[in-house]
Chain A
Amino acid sequence: MAFNIKLLAKNHKEDKFVSGHRLCPGCGAPLVPKLATLVAEALNYDLVVSNATGCLEVSTTIYPYTAWNIPFIHNAFENAAATISGVETAYKALLKRGKIKPEREIKFIAFGGDGGTYDIGLQSLSGAVERGHNFVYILYDNEGYMNTGNQRSGSTPPGSQTTTAPVGKKIPGKLQLKKNIVEIMAAHENIYAATATVGDYMDYMNKLEKAFKFDGPAFIAVLTPCVRFWRIKENATLDIAKLAVETKYWPLYEVERGVYRITRKPRQFKPVKEFIESQGRFRNLLKHPMASEIIQGLQDYVDRKWERLLALEEATKDKPIR
């Protein structure tokens, strides 16, 4: 279904994710659950959500205030996926035994930041996916442990200023490239895995629909700029996210049981340097003597990754692995 924003607005009944949360002005993170609730509403699903510890969870549930108008559970940092697999299994069991009679079909979402997904939460996510639970894991990726003040995560790009991998006189910040989380999830084979951004929200919503309708686990990695620690203007969130796609930094694609499909093919690409220069978190890197080497390394990497995606799209066309 192609979503029509005007129709969504017209038919919108009630906010399931409401105002009054304490996320920063211009933060990309609230759009991640907001759009998920709008898509669920359009598709007539009820939602139950689990959330790993992080910006989204903490800022939306400061006792006694909750921004969630849907059932919500925060358990701990590394177990959003394990928790939701318990909820989803309970749903199956109680439905089977006739102990619950929900009005609408319930869909299960686990939200996690990059900290709770790439790093500490990877095990429970992999386990839940391997077991084939019917849930959608939505990663809001702001490339660092932002809730606790910008510590590096497996998702932080090289050269980005973080407190635990700062760009210093000797060492130019984090040396490793971003861990490729979507490939890791796609390798589980029986899964729908995709990238998205808050900038291309139509693409994200289409993928949400696919994820909800997928028979099995689904994973969407949403690049979510952080105003505070990417050091961008409050109104630039969507633009920076779009820039990430236009520079091949974060290509928009999906893998459905091993079949690759690129969902946005910009006619012209911009150099990744433009993405780097657009954010204050790379300011120290740009002053560092190794700057051009690192940026060139990143450019080569995104170029190779794009070529590889094109080749995978070609090679796996109509050849699902499961």
Chain B
Amino acid sequence: MAELKGWKDIPIGGLITEPGSSKKFNTGGWRVMRPIYDRSKCIDCMMCWIVCPDMAIIQEDGIMKAIDYDYCKGCGICASVCPKNAIEMKPETEFQE
């Protein structure tokens, strides 16, 4: 979380002048389940990309690249729509250091 600023250092009117600044807030810490993606099963249908409520599917030019674990909340909707079962939900605890 950013350091709190004084009244002279912020824009007037309560305006947020930096669009998309929520990207500075990592919601990945909320995860209880983590989607694990198997590239070999993926057919790049892009269904996971379009249904992810957190825009956490990274794709480039219609090709699935990765899941953005900075923001993924582990809801599992991607896994539920994948026609090839290329995404499996595993407990997040398996990935804790």
Contact = CB atoms under 8 A, between A and B. Distances in A.
A64 B18 contact: yes
A17 to B, nearest CB: 7
Given A6-B44, A25-B30, A64-B2, A19 B50 contact: no
Contacts of A19: 22-23, 27, 54-56, 68, 70-71
A292 interface: no
A5 B46 contact: yes
Contacts, number: 123
Interface stretch (A144-152, A208-216, A235-243, A267-275): A235-243
Contacts of B62: 6-7, 9-10
B55 A69 contact: no
A254 B14 CA distance: 39
Chain A binding surface SS class: loop
B20 A67 contact: yes
B10 A64 contact: yes
B20 A8 contact: no
Interface string B20-63: 11111111001100000000000011110111011110010110
A20 B26 contact: yes
B25 A26 contact: no
Contact of B16 (A28, A35, A63, A236): A63
A178 interface: no
A60 interface: yes
B20 A69 contact: yes
Interface in A39-63: 60-61, 63
A238 B59 contact: no
Interface residues of A, number: 45
B66 interface: no
A115 interface: no
A303 to B, nearest CB: 30
A234 interface: yes
Interface of B: 2, 10, 14, 16, 18-27, 30-31, 44-47, 49-51, 53-56, 59, 61-62, 68, 70-71, 73-77, 79-81, 89
Given A26-B76, A66-B19, A66-B21, 13 more contacts: A6-B45, A10-B61, A18-B20, A18-B55, A20-B25, A25-B73, A30-B53, A31-B51, A64-B2, A65-B16, A65-B22, A234-B77, A237-B77
17 contacts: A10-B62, A15-B20, A18-B55, A19-B55, A21-B22, A25-B53, A25-B73, A26-B76, A30-B53, A31-B51, A31-B53, A63-B14, A64-B2, A65-B21, A65-B24, A67-B22, A238-B80
